[in-house]
Amino acid sequence: MNLSGRTVLVTGACGFIGSHLTEALVKGGAKVRALAFYNARGSLGWIEDMPHEVRNSVEVISGDVRDTEQIGSVIGEGDVVFHLAALIGIPYSYVAPRSYVETNVTGTLNVLEACRRNKAAKVLVTSTSEVYGSALRVPIDEDHPLQAQSPYSATKIAAEKLAESYIRSFDLPAVIVRPFNTFGPRQSARAVIPTLLMQIAGGAGDVSLGDVSTTRDFNYVLDTVDGFIRLAACDNAIGRTVNIGTGVEVSIARLADIAQEISGVKIRLTRDEQRIRPCASEVRRLCADASLLKTLTGWAPKVGIEEGLRMTLEWMKEGHGEYDTQRYYR
């Protein structure tokens, strides 16, 4: 499937990955409609950070995936749908789990049902590597057991299972996408890499983080976006669940070392107890096996962790949106 000239809807287009995906789709010639979460301020989130020529090519719709009627009206016959809208952030899911169910589960149901009724050409349902929990084996392939170690991950597992049921019950042309830890410009300021880099950019000598012994598979955002687009173009991916990850395991402590190297700033790590997850909820290891994605599409990551951190740090220093290098974000 060639996406050039196709009508494409991106839910969650105002967010981190969604805004980069929207931008890439426009540059690739797609006719992009972007669903941005409605708010009283009229803010379009990271859509506002796009180059003007890209922003002006996007049809922006303010709304909410929890609204059944609206979602039913914005998805048209033959559309390619990238469903990224979600409530993210593991810590808040301990506090307000019902809100995660309403957005991540009910919202996904609304998208799936609208795609079924309106005969969408394809829908990519975004999941997360958090559904695996702490690795029982590495690298983690798509057959690894699912472990709900937080309310957030439980809602993403539920959303996946709904998508699987629509594939099996209604022959819905869907792909379940499991990105590992994506990072880069526009990521939530509370995520570990922005938290680390903003403290460095702000001149902090003492840098506060949570558990630095855990490991993650960090993938630069443009590589994640490339994976999404390749999967959308690949008809052989329909009905499959596919990882997007580098296969490189990096500890948070090593991440801090790399950040020191690229910035030239010496730091001392301090432990912030408020950033520590409940013991049984912490995901200790994540490392992707992305061989299925490579087999299906030829995808491979292009940006390494050092280059990606360097580009992200430079972007932060320019001053954007929510990023305040003099503030510590939990």
For position 328, what pLDDT does the model report? 60
For residue range 178-235, list pLDDT tens digits in order. Answer: 999 999 999 998 899 999 998 888 776 788 888 999 999 999 999 999 999 999 999 9
Q: Where are the domains of the chain?
A: 7-182+218-244, 184-216+248-318
For position 204, what pLDDT does the model report? 67
The C-alpha atoms of residue 76 and residue 115 are separated, in whole angstroms, by 8
Strand 122-126 with 174-179, pairing? parallel
Phi-psi region of 216 (alpha: psi -120 to 50; beta: other; left: phi over 0): beta
For position 330, what pLDDT does the model report? 56
Phi-psi region of 102 (alpha: psi -120 to 50; beta: other; left: phi over 0): alpha
Strands (E) across 64-202 are located at 80-83, 122-126, 174-179, 181-183
Sequence-ordered list of residues with C-beta below 8 angstroms from that of 99, at least 6 positions apart, any chain: 87
CB 8 within 8 A of CB 29: no
Per the DSSP assignment, residues forming a β-bridge with 80 are 8, 122
Q: What CATH fold (topology level) applies to the domain 7-182+218-244?
A: Rossmann fold (3.40.50)
Q: What CATH fold (topology level) applies to the domain 184-216+248-318?
A: UDP-galactose 4-epimerase; domain 1 (3.90.25)
Encode the chain (330 residues) as per-residue pLDDT tens digits.
Answer: 889 999 999 999 999 999 999 999 999 999 999 999 998 888 999 999 999 999 999 999 999 999 999 999 999 999 999 999 999 989 999 999 999 999 999 999 999 999 999 999 999 999 999 999 999 999 999 999 999 999 999 999 999 999 999 999 999 999 999 999 999 999 998 899 999 998 888 776 788 888 999 999 999 999 999 999 999 999 999 999 999 999 999 999 999 999 999 998 888 888 888 888 898 999 999 999 999 999 999 999 999 999 999 999 999 888 765 666 556 665
The C-alpha atoms of residue 201 and residue 324 are separated, in whole angstroms, by 10
| CA dist list (Å): 114 to 17, 23, 107, 167, 329 | 23, 24, 11, 14, 37
The C-alpha atoms of residue 148 and residue 90 are separated, in whole angstroms, by 12
The C-alpha atoms of residue 317 and residue 37 are separated, in whole angstroms, by 27
The C-alpha atoms of residue 22 and residue 202 are separated, in whole angstroms, by 30
For position 200, what pLDDT does the model report? 85
